[in-house]
Structure 1
Amino acid sequence: MTEYSVISDAEEFRAACAALADGTGPVAVDVERASGFRYSQRAYLVQVFRRDAGVFLFDPPAIGDFAPLQDAIGSVEWVFHAASQDLPSLRELHLEPPTIFDTELASRLLGLERVGLAAVVEHTLGITLKKEHSAADWSTRPLPDSWLEYAALDVLHLIDVRDALAAELVEQNKTSFAEEEFAATLTRAPKPPREDPWRRLSGLHQVRGARNLAVARALWQARESFAQEQDVSPGRLVPDRSLVAAVMANPQSKQALAGTKEFQGRASRTQLDRWWQAFVDGRATEELPRERVPSDTLPPPRAWVDRNPEADARLKAARPVVEAIAEELSMPTENLLTPEYLRRIAWDLPGESAEDIGEALAALGARTWQIEQTAQKIADAFVEAGQTPDEPSTPAS
């Protein structure tokens, strides 16, 4: 087993950056976080590999300023597996790739049945990787040797995988598709913060009444504040189900809250004053939350036949057409066209021409190649769906 070490010393960091700058070709980059353990999504390990330089494992909390690494590799292509997961953490470190190649996304476009890193490495290189530490707490220090080897292997083979997939993209005439997808991933704006993030509490649908919702909101806010302060994942302090159970129990005193059997979690009793104060605040507030929140979410398709029969007909006509195109291109339907986009234009018809359909898809976020592959056939399907049995289509001249 190759021994790897984590670089945390400034001098060692500068030497590693110099070696990477002198390497050749693109760089493979990966990030390890502590999701489910820590509050933040910060990077706790950054792995980088470049040919003629080697593998380097960097300790972000210890290093702090990553400007030397950006200077060393900031002008070449960065290769990721599932880039959208790693880019936000890298941007917190002011690490920004100029262009990317995403091996997971390329694998989807190529129609691989399994697109996890281990499966893709085995498909392209015939090498078997072990993936036993993917859900580990990477904020642990020191990191065990077996974890470091796992982290290194995440980037060690990635450039070879990239080259193999790039060749397959050429063979399937999908290089331009992939380039558009990679660019879209790189430039995609982060999702705006949710207006009422507390409404994501699992089980909140059981809570009835604005006053009880106000208590649930106060409990969520109290937990969120404490989790951020402690840098601990909120669910590890008190699970969602426990917060909801406490609201449903409607305790009338701090002692009654402490006696609520379903109110569990490692901080449920040690922070009892905090949770009880949330009950007090929620019951006293004059700013009651709305019980029903307006949403632009579409109804489930099974309800369309009653609520919007024309849209139902359009969706039923177009969906198999899009699926057939995806099958012809040997890729998953959702990578050819996001299913929500098709539902949107079926529900609220933007027009009957391919141009109208294409403009609407572009506004939703579809890429040019996706529109070129689907817009005309969707338009044809929509027109056909709008015709009655007594209204035959007009023959082409």
Structure 2
Amino acid sequence: MEQNKQLDLLSFSTTNRKLRWIDDNNSLQEYLSILDSLKPIAIDIEGDSLHHYPEKLCVISLCQEGYLAVIDCLKGDLSSLWRMLSGCEWICHGMDYDLKMLRRAGCPQPKKIFDTHIAAKLCGFDSVGYADLVSLFFQVKLSKEHQKADWSRRPLPLSLVHYTAKDVLYLEKLKDILSKLLKSLGRSEWMEQSCERIRRKIEKSLSKPPYKDPERIEGFQKLDPLGQSILLEIQRWRQELALSKGIPPFKIIRTEDLIQISSISSQGESVLKIPAVKQLEKNIRYSLLQAIEKGKQNGPHNQPLLSKPFSFMDKESSKRFEELKTKRNKIASSLGLDPGLIASKALLSEMAMDPKTIRKRLIETDKLCPWQAELLGL
């Protein structure tokens, strides 16, 4: 393959190893034989969520002690790769999407995760993006030109292979730097707890549908009960249409347009004046109108609303909330941290309304880490 030959000649200036493009079992086994499953490995993935639905895992980029590879996930059996990865500590930046995609593709849980995004926040950095950290520590400016690329394209352009390889190239060194900083600050345990909490949350989310619960869509709670019923139905309509066409739901119609459609429909007004509806193909527009009618026939949505907890605080709870917020802000300022990293306002409100049992419940539901609870004196 010409692309393989080109890549074989490529050597990054920051490593003495060559970048490998792996799209067959022989080259995969050769690469895996070089790796040590007992050592940490830098990992990053690319999917096609902006172009296809359901989204697919398209490529995995790996780097261990300079051995750098981009693996085509649309070809061959990856079971040997999964076995190797399950025994390693992963180094990643923003684990949520990557871990979720890898788990859905069949990769087992990793032994441990070091998320450089979390580490940077715990160290108190203001800019914690991967490109920001690479620029800060290595004086290298990373391009963002391929963020919206279609990673399912084959053959994958060489420029995309280079682009995604750089997403793992600096992770091992970042881990070394940030680990030392965390240790000097006495926050290594915070880091472990934070990564484990997010890992558990992701694992729990795997049993849920890959699309967003309509009741958690921004704007749902502002609709009247009939509007909510309509939204539930047209959300299902969009989901089924996206699956049948193999394109992301937002490319059919945006979520904010669904909210507007639901609101107008519940008032008995025509949705045909809405620009997003006008732009739909005739047959799709007709099926949308049918879904709206079905939502109306279902009657008003009668499930309890998922309201923000602090919207129903009594006087005592409100007082505790303000005290907790003041305490959190003082602690954050003294530690040089973003206050939201210690606890969000939503969590503070839960603490204010249930001060006696809240520590156990928030930790058990993976909303809070023990280190956060201890800082707040829970």
Say yes or no: does 1:17 pair with 2:18: no
Give the SS at the match of 1:61: coil
| Structure 1 counterpart of 2:353 | 347
> Which structure 1 residue ranges, 5 or more long, are not aligned?
251-255, 351-355, 379-397
Percent sequence identity is: 22
Say yes or no: does 1:180 pair with 2:196: no
| Structure 2 counterpart of 1:94 | 106
Query: 1:105/1:204 Cα in 2 relative to 1: closer, same or farther (>3 Å)?
Result: closer
The runs of at least 4 consecutive aligned structure 1 residues that moved more than 6 Å come to none
Say yes or no: does 1:68 pair with 2:80: yes
Say yes or no: does 1:318 pair with 2:324: yes
Give the SS at the match of 2:234: helix
**The one of 24, 46, 49 aligned to 2:63:** 49
Residue 221 of structure 2 contacts residue 305 of structure 2 at CA under 8 Å; is this kept in 1?
no
- Cα deviation, residue 294, structure 1: 3.1
Residue 350 of structure 2 contacts residue 358 of structure 2 at CA under 8 Å; is this kept in 1?
no
| Structure 2 counterpart of 1:197 | 213
Measured in 1, the distance between the counterparts of 2:151 and 2:106 equals 20
Measured in 2, the distance between the counterparts of 1:203 and 1:339 equals 19
> Which structure 2 residue ranges, 5 or more long, are not aligned?
1-9, 13-18
Residue 38 of structure 1 contacts residue 233 of structure 1 at CA under 8 Å; is this kept in 2?
yes
**The one of 89, 94, 103 aligned to 2:116:** 103
- Cα deviation, residue 271, structure 1: 2.9
Residue 115 of structure 2 contacts residue 195 of structure 2 at CA under 8 Å; is this kept in 1?
yes
Aligned length: 355
Say yes or no: does 1:136 pair with 2:149: yes
Measured in 2, the distance between the counterparts of 1:180 and 1:328 equals 21
Measured in 1, the distance between the counterparts of 2:343 and 2:102 equals 28
CA deviation string 1:148-205 (max 9, x = no partner) = 2110000011101111111111111111111111222222243474899344566667
Query: 1:278/1:340 Cα in 2 relative to 1: closer, same or farther (>3 Å)?
Result: closer
Say yes or no: does 1:332 pair with 2:338: yes
Alignment of 1:245-284 (within 5 A): 260=273, 262-264=275-277, 268-269=281-282, 271-279=284-292, 281-283=294-296
Residue 25 of structure 1 contacts residue 51 of structure 1 at CA under 8 Å; is this kept in 2?
no
Amino acid at match of 1:89: M
TM-score, length-scaled by structure 2: 0.81
| Structure 1 counterpart of 2:370 | 368
**The one of 282, 289, 308 aligned to 1:297:** 308
Alignment RMSD, CA only? 3.2
Amino acid at match of 1:85: Y
Query: 1:121/1:310 Cα in 2 relative to 1: closer, same or farther (>3 Å)?
Result: same
Measured in 2, the distance between the counterparts of 1:207 and 1:273 equals 23
Measured in 2, the distance between the counterparts of 1:292 and 1:360 equals 24
Tell which deviates more after alignment, 171-180 or 268-277: 268-277
Measured in 2, the distance between the counterparts of 1:278 and 1:357 equals 42
Measured in 2, the distance between the counterparts of 1:49 and 1:260 equals 53
Give the SS at the match of 2:309: coil
**The one of 175, 182, 186 aligned to 1:169:** 182
TM-score, length-scaled by structure 1: 0.77
- Cα deviation, residue 273, structure 1: 4.6
- Cα deviation, residue 324, structure 1: 1.4
* Greater C-alpha Rg: 1
